[in-house]
Chains A and B, each alone.
Chain A
Amino acid sequence: MKKNFSKPLYYTLLWVTSLLFFLPVFWIFLSAFKTKEQVVQIPPDWVFMPTFQNILNMLKDAHFLQYLSNSFFISLTAVTIAILVSFLASYSFSRFKPKGTDFIMFVLLSIRMVPGAATILPMYLMYAFFGLKNTYVGMIFMYTMFSIPFSVWILKGFIDGISTKFDETALVNGGSHFHIMFKVVLPQIKPGIIAAFIFNIIFVWNEFLFNFIVGGNKVTTIPVALATGVVSSQGIEWTYVASLSLVYTLPLIIAIYFCQKYLLVGMTFGTVRGEV
């Protein structure tokens, strides 16, 4: 089929497709460099003098900096903890297969399939009861739980793929279990770790509902700020939405650019280990 295309035409088609999907995002990003009037101007100015005022204003805003650092702190900490504990668990599942392994794995995955709105209610009641609302500990633990199922699935798939010969050799040579786990197995499943990390970061980074309901002014992350903090007396502050989206999406776009081949591993819970 593709042989009927001439190469340049085929490549142009691919690029056009990619850019078409990117277009709405580009439109958002473009608005970050427009003035308030230009954003809602119809017909739009196709050529305009970019202004950096929106971004400068945003960077000067103490709230924004707090939201952004919350986003970074909460998502990075939560996913790191999740991957660490998931590594321990998946090593156990993979090597010792304790009773009920399949069942635990199933239940872990199924909680991740439940709509957030269904689990947020009991969470809310429990957090209110224990005073965990609007605390970093509460948010981090919630997102850790959020990231555990996929991490366990991805990492177990990877550890299963490492021959037990390595473990046996280390054991015979007097290595402890922890030595085997961290010095023998861990270095070999680096791609799995990166995949699990990237995949869960995308979810936690963009998560809105949980932070909205059980968070508070102290632990607000950017998505919540986006959804709630953008309405002023003149309606929605579009330039603010745009510049916030720009600053917030860029780190992920850069991460995707560099970790493209790990994306797929995460998307399929490690059942597929190919490259794109």
Chain B
Amino acid sequence: MYSKKKNEQERNTKTNSINKIALRIKNHFQKNEMKFAWYLLIPVLSFFLILNVIPTLWMIGLSFYKYSLISAAGPKFVGIKNFIDILSNNVIWNSFSKTFLFVLMGVGIQTILGILLGFLFWNSDRLPGRRFALTFLFTPMIIAPVAAGTYFKLIYDPTLGIGNYFIKSFFGLVVNFLGDASYAFFSVLLVDIWMWTPFMILMTLAALGSVPEAELEAAEVDNLPWLKRLRYVILPHSKFIIMLGILLRTIESFKTMDLIYTMTSGGPGNATELIAIKLFREAFASFNMGESAALALITLLSAIAFTSIYLFILQYKEKKV
């Protein structure tokens, strides 16, 4: 905005001298403005510095030390030993691959279900009590994961749970959803899918809402087949928001912690020990601060990689618009 003002000023001034004076005044204001701009940033930056930069540096430093909270020995410098230990530890690779599987399957199923149901809800404007219906639909994603996780323990319970009651009356068998290592992972995944499919429905609804009415009508007039309509009319407009939804879910899914913590705490054994749980257990059950710091750092770098992809796509969109 200020460059525009500058142009106007320059155009309007006739003589050089006035020009110079104007320039000086402008510079003065701009300098002050920049100062003001930074003043406005002070609160956010200080929060950021104190609660993020310092802890992160602390953590980076700690990752090169052997330090246990429960032993009397102080921190001892060990170089990159922690990182080597982690990268050569099968349990941690197992956690990473479980997390990968969890994210891939969870987000995949949520996306497919969400898109299908999103299409179902498309043009539901006249649905009686639509606001209530949508509130009910979105409840799974606003209930505290801790609450849902704790209560699903009861629903999944082999003897006391309603889930097993139904399975027993229909199929005549009892499934130990959370206690059996071969089922636990999928049982947790199922709750995650229940919680977050509504999110993908919401995103799909938003995406479909961004398709221009006129183009849809044109397709209707041309009597375009359904598949072509999807490909040439709907997808080009809705692609971005759906992609955004998938990415957001990927990032959030990568962080899944409270749900699993309350349902299985990573067990039985380490059947549901995703990386966030592993980190938590390492730090606050074994109190291996050095090694957990190194693991946290590795996780942090993977998360930053995710963010970069996300922002890359965002900018890609901005350029196109």
Asked if residues B144 and A109 are in contact (CB atoms below 8 Å), the reply is no
Asked if residues A24 and B299 are in contact (CB atoms below 8 Å), the reply is no
Asked if residues A98 and B34 are in contact (CB atoms below 8 Å), the reply is yes
Asked if residues B54 and A126 are in contact (CB atoms below 8 Å), the reply is yes
User: Which residues of B have CB within 8 Å of A167?
Assistant: 1
Chain B, residues 38-72, CB within 8 Å of chain A (1/0): the string is 10110111011011101110110010000000000
Q: Is the interface of B mostly helix, strand, loop or mixed?
A: helix
B184 within 8 A of A: no
Q: Is the interface of A mostly helix, strand, loop or mixed?
A: helix
Q: Give chain A nearest CB distance to B242 CB in angstroms.
A: 11
Known: A126-B54, A213-B284. A14 touches B147 (CB 8 A): no
Asked if residues B210 and A11 are in contact (CB atoms below 8 Å), the reply is no
B153 within 8 A of A: yes
Asked if residues A223 and B146 are in contact (CB atoms below 8 Å), the reply is yes
A194 within 8 A of B: no
Determine the distance from Cα of A236 to Cα of B1 in the docked complex, in whole angstroms: 62
Asked if residues B311 and A148 are in contact (CB atoms below 8 Å), the reply is no
A57 within 8 A of B: no
Known: A168-B5, A275-B209. A14 touches B52 (CB 8 A): no
A51 within 8 A of B: no
Q: Which residue of B lies closest to A121 (CB)?
A: B283
Number of B interface residues, CB 8 Å?
108
Asked if residues A245 and B151 are in contact (CB atoms below 8 Å), the reply is yes
Determine the distance from Cα of A122 to Cα of B296 in the docked complex, in whole angstroms: 10
Q: Give chain B nearest CB distance to A28 CB in angstroms.
A: 5
Known: A109-B311, A213-B284, A263-B138. A17 touches B117 (CB 8 A): yes
Determine the distance from Cα of A256 to Cα of B162 in the docked complex, in whole angstroms: 28
Number of A interface residues, CB 8 Å?
96
Asked if residues A114 and B303 are in contact (CB atoms below 8 Å), the reply is yes
User: Which residues of A have CB within 8 Å of B271?
Assistant: none
A residues neighboring B (CB under 8 Å): 1-2, 11, 13-15, 17-19, 21-22, 24-25, 27-28, 31, 39-40, 42-44, 85-86, 88-89, 91-93, 95-96, 98, 104, 106-111, 113-126, 141-142, 144-145, 148, 152, 164, 167-168, 177, 202, 205-206, 208-209, 213, 222-224, 226-227, 230, 236, 238, 241-242, 244-245, 248-249, 252-253, 256-257, 260, 263-264, 267-268, 271-272, 274-276
Instruction: Other than A122-B59, A209-B258, give 15 A-B pairs with Cβ distance below 8 A.
Output: A14-B121, A21-B140, A24-B152, A42-B162, A96-B36, A98-B41, A104-B45, A117-B279, A117-B280, A141-B47, A206-B258, A208-B257, A222-B144, A223-B258, A267-B248
